[in-house]
Amino acid sequence: MVKEFVEYKELFIGGRWEIPTGQASIEVVSPATGEAIGRVPHATRDDVDKAVAMAREAFDVGPWPRLPLEERLAVIERFASALQQRIQQLASVISRENGSPITWSLASQAGAPALVCGLAVETARAYPFEHRRPGLRSDVIVRYEPVGVVAAVVPWNVPAFVSINKLAFALAAGCTVVLKPSPETPLDAYILAEIADEVGLPEGVLSVLPADREVSEYLVAHKGIDKVSFTGSVGAGKRIMEVAAANLTRVTLELGGKSAAIILEDADLDHAVSTIGRASWALNNGQACVALTRVLAPRSLYDEIARRLTDAANALVVGDPADPATQVGPLVSARQQQRVLDYIRIGCEEGATLLAGGGIPEDLERGCYVSPTLFGDVDNSMRIAQEEIFGPVVCLIPYEDDADALRIANESEYGLSGAVFTADTERGIEVARHVRTGTITVNGFSTEPTAPFGGYKNSGIGRELGDEGLRSYLEAKTIAIAG
């Protein structure tokens, strides 16, 4: 893994490398060591104004939205190819920024973005951007046109993947984009900017502006923005929706989760426990909105499942994210580490039984580590079962029958992901139909990139990926043919 300090002194504004208007910078700190690993400029409101003005001009009069579809898609395909060539670099940078284990970074953090670019191209190529259909009074032409200038605000947990989810589909639609990476993980966004520079995006089509929450709010409130696509916390999502409402700016919000894994009494327990381990503690160190953090166990099998999950948590290898043997790395920051430790304390105070973990690993006092933690005897009304912890903490909750399991699964403010484990696939599908969540997997854990992704309730508004993801960057226009 690359170890040197990385410093950028310019911002990528509208396809140009520009000196920032302010003097402030963002220092990037390794959560594994606490040492500074990089520095980037902190964008100002003036930088936002310039980026939005360039994006506005590029959309209103520039070539990008007016290019033949295949020409736009050819640029995205070049982007995908360049991403593929930089997988090792991108994975190393992200692991250093946020502590993601390198094996997971290679497969998902850096490996998936090129795949998503390809899917965006395939989706756009097959999409009915214009079609004619009969009406009651006359024929009509229905067109889908790009929504305009997009503010894409991305989180620190899977920064490149989320950036490309937004960027690839917005560009395929013909939009221009101002990308605002998280201040915890701006270095990978510079790699995306370098690729954009290489592949020949026209002037104004993409800007990358690292900044804090105050500048981010200024961006999403900007009158030059037509759509905000945000991934992050519920609190920030609500604020974005409030700010965007002043301009009736369209929003897509992909927010938090507290997903339930329902183990039915006929399930293969080896498979269920193994899958839950990968989709909770070991999924980006538990820092994933889709993580399976509530495990619902039939009371008749509760003790057996508790034992197996305890063994699974204790067997996980916690350590240096650069080590290929590591399964759980550090949390992104000391602040996040303390937040998770506070929730563990709350769980103990609420009366849950600590079955595994519960603190900082004894041999890893340096860095932002938390041991994979399992709580048993959890009541679904407890805070640890209702609030998103965003760390390697799992709650084990007993249930009486299918109806009780569904009640518990749905008694949540969230509805993003989930799973059902059973020997009877059709029964699993029927149970899945009644869980109010955006994505749910029978006998596994999957976020299928060709299908719509998003959440119910406080987990968000709108969808990304698939036809639905492309449609979120389009406006529908009707042309009535009267004569």
112-167 residue pLDDT tens: 999 999 999 999 999 999 999 999 989 999 999 999 999 999 999 999 999 999 99
Of the candidates 289, 370, 279, the one whose C-alpha atom is nearest the C-alpha of residue 332 is 370
For residue 196, the model assigns a pLDDT of 97
* Share of residues in the chain with pLDDT > 70 (%): 99
145: exposed, middle or buried (Cβ count in 10 Å: 0-12, 13-18, 19+): middle
DSSP string, 118-145: HHHHHHHHH--SEEEEE-SSSEEEEEEE
For residue 143, the model assigns a pLDDT of 98
> Residue 294 corresponds to which amino acid?
R
User: Mutual orientation of helices 302-315 and 269-278 as an angle, nearest 10°?
Assistant: 40
Of the candidates 372, 377, 395, the one whose C-alpha atom is nearest the C-alpha of residue 311 is 372
**Of 97, 117, 175, 254, catalytic:** 254
For residue 278, the model assigns a pLDDT of 97
Q: Is 35 a catalytic residue?
A: no
Alpha-carbon distance values, 314 to 281, 357, 366, 374, 397 (Å): 11, 7, 20, 9, 19
The pair of structure tokens assigned to 404 is: 């009780």
> How sure is the predictor about 447, in pLDDT bands with cuts at 50, 70 and 90?
confident
What is the C-alpha separation between 312 and 323, in angstroms, rounded? 20
6-255+459-480: CATH number: 3.40.605.10
Alpha-carbon distance values, 107 to 92, 100, 115, 181, 441 (Å): 12, 11, 11, 21, 20
Q: Is 289 a catalytic residue?
A: yes
pLDDT at 376 over 70: yes
Alpha-carbon distance values, 41 to 22, 178, 186 (Å): 8, 16, 10
What is the pLDDT averaged over residues 376-388?
Answer: 98
> How sure is the predictor about 110, in pLDDT bands with cuts at 50, 70 and 90?
very high
- CATH 3.40.605.10 domain range(s) in the chain: 6-255+459-480
What is the C-alpha separation between 113 and 38, in angstroms, rounded? 23
What is the C-alpha separation between 203 and 221, in angstroms, rounded? 23
pLDDT at 40 over 80: yes
- CATH 3.40.309.10 domain range(s) in the chain: 259-449
What is the pLDDT averaged over residues 354-363?
Answer: 96
What is the C-alpha separation between 262 and 295, in angstroms, rounded? 6
**Of 289, 368, 395, 464, catalytic:** 289
Neighbour tally for 481: CB within 10 Å = 11
pLDDT at 348 over 70: yes
Which residues does 126 contact at the CB level (< 8 Å), separation at least 6? none
Dihedral pair phi/psi, residue 294, rounded to 5°? -120, 120
pLDDT at 1 over 50: no
Neighbour tally for 311: CB within 10 Å = 14
67: exposed, middle or buried (Cβ count in 10 Å: 0-12, 13-18, 19+): middle
Of the candidates 429, 386, 436, the one whose C-alpha atom is nearest the C-alpha of residue 407 is 436
What is the pLDDT averaged over residues 46-69?
Answer: 98
217-256 residue pLDDT tens: 999 999 999 999 999 999 999 999 999 999 999 999 999 9
**Residue corresponding to tokens 């043919």:** 481
> How sure is the predictor about 365, in pLDDT bands with cuts at 50, 70 and 90?
confident
For residue 483, the model assigns a pLDDT of 72
pLDDT at 2 over 60: no
What is the pLDDT averaged over residues 466-481?
Answer: 97
Angle value at C-alpha 114, between 149 and 216, nearest 5 degrees: 35
**Residue corresponding to tokens 């409130």:** 221
Fold of 259-449: Aldehyde Dehydrogenase; Chain A, domain 2 (3.40.309)
Q: What does pLDDT average to over the chain?
A: 97
What's the gap between Cα 250 and its chain centre?
A: 19
What is the pLDDT averaged over residues 259-283?
Answer: 98
For residue 4, the model assigns a pLDDT of 84
Dihedral pair phi/psi, residue 355, rounded to 5°? -95, -30
What is the pLDDT averaged over residues 280-290?
Answer: 98
> Residue 55 corresponds to which amino acid?
A
What is the pLDDT averaged over residues 44-72?
Answer: 98
What is the pLDDT averaged over residues 36-59?
Answer: 98
pLDDT at 294 over 90: yes
Question: Residue 478's beta-bridge partner residues?
Answer: 142
Of the candidates 81, 141, 145, the one whose C-alpha atom is nearest the C-alpha of residue 113 is 81
For the chain, the distance separating the N- and C-terminal CA atoms, rounded to the nearest angstrom, is 66
